[in-house]
C-alpha cells in the first residue's frame, strides 16, 4: 500500500515538473533556437531583387518586421528559399503585394510544417526531460544506496550448458555418485513426477571425497545435464575482507536462485564457511555470520520450487552438524578414489582426447596405479602425450603411458645425475633385496619393474609391485609380507656390505606406518585385542591419526610396533641368506641394465642356474 502511494506521488510530481519544463522551454529556448535555425538558412539580398521576385509571382510569403523584410521564393521546380532584405521607405509596397493575392502577408512566418513545430516544441522537450529524470534518479540511487547495494552482490557465476560443456559422459567411474545426481537432474526436468507421489527431493547434496576425485567435475556435469541455470560459487569467495559481506552474499545468491528456479546452486569447498562453530570468544565472527545466513536461507526456501543446492568438500568431518541435518545437506554423495575398473574407465575417457596407438592395454596401467585419483590419471595421460611429442612420435604408445605412471609416482628421470659405481652397486643390491623378499613370499604382490635410474623425487631406484586384481581387504599375512618386503632393501645392504645407508629412510617410514596401523587400528597385534587406539582425522586429506590412549599404552604400542618390524626384518634377512646366489646374479644383471621388467626378474629367479659369476 505504502509503496503504491509513493509511486503515484512520484508520477504526479513527474508530470508537474514536465509541464513546467515544457512551458519554460517554449517561452525561452524554442524561439531562440528557431531564430538561430532560420538565420542559418536565410540569404541576404537587396530590395530590388525582392520587388522583382514579387512581380514575377514567385514569392509565397512575406513578413515585414521592424527593420527588415523576410520573404520566401519558390522557383519553377518547387524549391523554396528564404531571403531577408532591408526595409525601404516604400509606401507602394503594401498595395503592390496586395495585387498578388496569393502571397501570405504578415502572418506568422511558416518555415517548418505544423507537425515539425509540434514535435520540436512539445514532444522533444518531454523526451529530453524523461532522459534527464532517469539519469538523475539513477545517479541518486547510486549515491545513496550504491555502495550498500554493490556490497550485497554475489559473484556467483551462472553456468549454462554451453559453458561447462561437461556431461555425465565425461565422468568415468563414480557410478554411485552419478546415479544419485541423475535423480536430481531428473527432478529438475520433471518435478511433477515427484510431486504427484508426494516425495520431497533433498534440498541439498554434499559431495565428499579426497582431492581430485571429480567432485567439481560432477557438479559441472550436473549443470550440463540439467539444462537449468547453474550458480557456482566457491566457499572462499564468501569469506572476504569486509564484515557482513559473506552473509550479504549468501542472501543475494539465494534471492537470485529463487528468481531463476528451477536451478542449481553449487558451493565448492564448503568447509571454508561451514566449519564447526565453536564457543571460543573472539572466534571468527564473519565466518559464523555467513554460516548462520546459509543455514537460514536453506531453511527458508521451498524445496518444491526446484532449487537444488550442491556442495563439495574434502573435510566433511569439520562441517558444522547443523549443516548436515535433514532438510539441509541431508544427502551425502561420496566420490571415492577409483577402483581398478574406475581407473581404467577414467584413463579411457581422457585417452579420447589424445591420439593413441590401437593396442593400448589400459588395464595394465590401471593396475599399476592403485590409489591414484582421477586427476592423477588425467595427468598420466597428458604426460604420456607430452613424452610422445618429445620423442618425435604423433601417437601415444604403451611405453609412454608406463613411463608417465612413474613420472607421476616418482618424478622425472634424472639421467645426468652422477652416481659412483660403489653407490650404484649398493642401490642395485637394495632394490633386488626388496624384489627377492617380495617374490619369495606368497602373500606379496608380484614384482612389475625394478629400476636404479634416479628420479627427481629423490628416489635413487625403486621396485614396483603390481597386484593382479583389485584388493579391498588387507590380511594380516599380506601386511606382514609387505613390511618384510620394505625391510628387504636394508637387509640386502647389511648382508652384502655389512653396513647400512640412509637410502632406506622411505622404506622405514612406510613400514612403521603400516605396523602402527596394524597395532592401533586393525587389531592385528598380539598384545592388544580389538581396540581402537588411534582415531583418524582428515580422512580424505592424508589421514592423520591421533592417539587415543594413556601414555603407558602409547609406550606399549611403540614396543609392539618395534617387535613387528624386527620380526619382519629378520625374516627378510633369512630369505636373502637362503637365496644369496640369486641376489648376486640379479643385482649384477640390474647394475648392467639399470631397468629390468618383472618377467626378466622372474626368469632369472626361476631358472636352475649354476652360481653367479
Ligand atoms: P575435486 O574432487 O578435487 O573437485 P576435480 O573435479 O576438480 O576434483 O577433478 C580434477 C580433474 O580430474 C578433472 O578436471 C578431471 O579431468 C579429472 N577427473 C577426476 N575424476 C574424474 C573422473 N571420475 N572421470 C574423469 N575425469 C576425472
Ligand atoms: Mg574441487
Ligand atoms: Zn628401499
First to last CA, the chain: 104
Which tens digit of pLDDT belongs to each residue from 402-448?
989 988 877 888 777 788 899 999 999 999 999 999 999 988 889 98
The helix (run of H) or strand (run of E) holding residue 129 is helix 124-141
Residue 68 to residue 83: CA distance in whole angstroms: 10
CA of 369 to the centre of ligand 3 (A): 19
Ligand 1 pocket mutation pick from 213, 354, 372 by most atoms within 8 angstroms of CB: 213
How does strand 447-451 pair with strand 462-465? antiparallel
Atom of ligand 1 nearest to the CA of 220: 6
Among all ligands shown, which has an atom nearest to the Cα of 217?
1
CA of 510 to the centre of ligand 3 (A): 10
Give pLDDT, residue 283: 58
Give pLDDT, residue 568: 96
The alpha carbon dihedral of 381, 383, 388, 394 has a sign of positive
Residue 187 to residue 199: CA distance in whole angstroms: 10
Nearest-CA residue for ligand 1 atom 12 is 375
Residue 175 to residue 77: CA distance in whole angstroms: 86
Low-confidence residues of the chain, pLDDT below 50?
1-4, 141-152, 159-162, 612-613
Give pLDDT, residue 86: 80
Give pLDDT, residue 113: 59
Give pLDDT, residue 250: 82
CA of 238 to the centre of ligand 2 (A): 16
Give pLDDT, residue 538: 75
- Give ion ligand 2 contacts, CB < 5 A: 216
Coil/strand/helix, residue 105: strand
Reply yes or no on whether 431 is catalytic.
yes
Query: 333 and 214 in contact (C-beta within 8 Å)?
Result: no
Among all ligands shown, which has an atom nearest to the Cα of 348?
1
What is the biggest distance separating any 2 CA atoms in the chain, rounded to whole angstroms?
149
Query: Which one is catalytic: 431, 494, 560, 585?
Result: 431
CA of 228 to the centre of ligand 1 (A): 22
DSSP sequence for 524-558: -SSS--S---EEEESTTTT-EEEE-S-HHHHHHHH
Coil/strand/helix, residue 49: helix
Q: Which residues, in sequence order, are bridge partners of residue 595? A: 451
Query: Quick one: 256 exposed, middle or buried, by C-beta within 10 A (0-12, 13-18, 19+)?
Result: middle
Using a 6 Å CB cutoff, which residues line ligand 1? 171-174, 209, 211-217, 312, 335, 346, 349, 374-375, 378
- 447's CB contacts (< 8 A; 6+ apart) are 435, 438, 439, 463, 464, 465, 598, 601, 602
Amino acid at each position: 500500500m505504502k509503496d503504491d502511494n509513493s509511486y503515484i506521488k512520484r508520477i504526479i510530481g513527474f508530470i508537474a515538473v514536465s509541464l513546467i519544463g515544457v512551458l519554460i522551454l517554449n517561452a525561452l529556448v524554442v524561439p531562440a533556437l528557431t531564430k538561430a535555425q532560420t538565420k542559418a538558412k536565410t540569404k541576404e539580398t537587396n530590395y530590388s531583387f525582392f520587388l522583382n521576385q514579387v512581380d514575377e509571382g514567385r514569392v509565397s510569403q512575406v513578413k515585414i518586421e521592424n527593420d527588415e523584410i523576410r520573404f520566401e521564393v519558390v522557383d519553377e521546380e518547387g524549391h523554396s528559399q528564404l531571403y531577408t532584405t532591408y526595409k525601404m521607405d516604400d509606401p507602394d509596397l503594401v498595395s503592390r503585394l496586395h495585387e498578388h493575392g496569393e502571397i501570405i502577408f504578415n502572418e506568422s512566418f511558416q518555415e517548418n510544417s505544423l507537425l515539425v513545430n509540434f514535435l520540436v516544441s512539445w514532444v522533444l522537450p518531454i523526451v529530453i526531460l524523461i532522459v534527464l529524470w532517469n539519469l538523475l534518479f539513477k545517479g541518486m540511487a547510486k549515491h545513496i544506496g550504491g555502495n550498500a547495494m554493490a556490497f550485497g552482490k554475489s559473484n556467483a557465476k551462472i553456468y549454462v550448458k554451453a559453458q561447462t560443456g561437461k556431461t555425465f559422459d565425461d565422468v568415468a567411474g563414480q557410478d554411485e555418485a552419478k546415479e544419485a545426481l541423475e535423480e536430481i537432474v531428473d527432478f529438475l526436468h520433471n518435478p511433477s513426477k515427484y510431486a504427484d507421489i508426494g516425495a520431497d527431493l533433498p534440498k541439498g547434496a554434499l559431495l565428499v571425497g579426497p582431492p581430485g576425485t571429480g567432485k567439481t567435475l560432477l557438479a559441472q556435469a550436473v549443470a550440463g545435464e540439467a539444462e537449468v541455470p547453474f550458480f557456482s560459487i566457491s566457499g572462499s569467495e564468501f569469506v572476504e575482507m569486509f564484515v557482513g559481506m559473506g552473509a550479504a552474499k549468501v542472501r543475494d545468491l539465494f534471492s537470485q536462485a529463487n528468481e531463476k528456479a528451477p536451478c542449481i546452486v553449487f558451493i565448492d569447498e564448503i568447509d571454508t564457511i561451514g566449519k564447526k562453530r565453536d564457543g571460543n570468544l573472539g572466534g571468527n565472527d564473519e565466518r559464523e555470520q555467513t554460516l548462520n545466513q546459509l543455514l537460514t536461507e536453506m531453511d527458508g526456501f521451498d524445496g518444491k520450487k526446484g532449487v537444488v543446492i550442491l556442495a563439495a568438500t574434502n573435510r566433511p568431518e569439520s562441517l558444522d552438524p547443523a549443516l548436515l541435518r535433514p532438510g539441509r545437506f541431508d544427502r551425502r554423495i561420496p566420490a571415492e578414489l577409483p577402483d581398478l575398473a574406475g581407473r581404467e574407465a577414467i584413463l579411457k575417457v581422457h585417452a579420447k582426447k589424445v591420439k593413441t596407438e590401437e593396442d593400448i592395454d589400459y588395464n595394465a596401467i590401471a593396475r599399476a596405479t592403485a590409489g591414484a585419483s582421477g586427476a592423477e590419471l588425467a595427468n598420466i595421460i597428458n604426460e604420456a602425450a607430452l613424452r610422445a611429442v618429445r620423442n618425435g612420435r604423433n601417437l601415444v604408445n604403451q611405453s609412454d603411458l608406463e613411463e608417465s605412471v612413474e613420472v607421476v609416482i616418482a618424478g622425472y628421470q634424472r639421467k645426468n645425475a652422477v652416481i659412483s659405481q660403489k653407490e650404484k652397486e649398493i642401490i642395485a643390491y637394495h632394490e633386488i633385496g626388496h624384489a627377492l623378499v617380495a617374490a619369495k613370499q606368497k602373500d606379496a604382490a608380484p614384482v612389475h619393474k625394478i629400476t636404479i635410474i634416479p628420479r627427481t623425487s629423490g628416489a635413487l631406484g625403486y621396485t614396483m609391485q603390481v597386484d593382479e586384481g583389485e584388493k579391498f581387504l588387507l590380511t594380516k599375512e599380506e601386511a606382514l609380507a609387505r613390511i618384510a618386503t620394505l625391510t628387504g632393501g636394508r637387509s640386502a645392504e647389511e648382508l652384502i656390505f655389512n653396513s647400512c645407508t640412509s637410502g632406506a629412510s622411505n622404506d622405514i617410514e612406510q613400514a612403521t606406518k603400516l605396523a602402527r596401523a596394524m597395532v592401533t587400528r586393525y587389531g592385528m597385534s598380539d598384545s592388544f585385542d580389538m581396540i581402537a587406539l588411534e582415531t583418524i582425522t582428515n580422512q580424505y586429506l592424508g589421514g592423520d591419526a591421533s592417539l587415543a590412549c594413556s601414555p603407558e599404552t602409547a609406550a606399549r604400542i611403540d614396543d609392539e610396533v618395534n617387535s613387528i618390524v624386527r620380526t619382519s626384518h629378520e625374516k627378510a634377512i633369512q630369505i636373502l641368506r637362503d637365496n644369496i646366489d640369486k641376489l648376486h646374479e640379479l643385482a649384477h644383471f640390474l647394475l648392467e641394465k639399470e631397468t629390468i621388467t618383472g618377467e626378466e626378474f622372474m626368469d632369472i629367479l626361476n631358472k636352475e642356474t649354476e652360481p653367479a659369476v
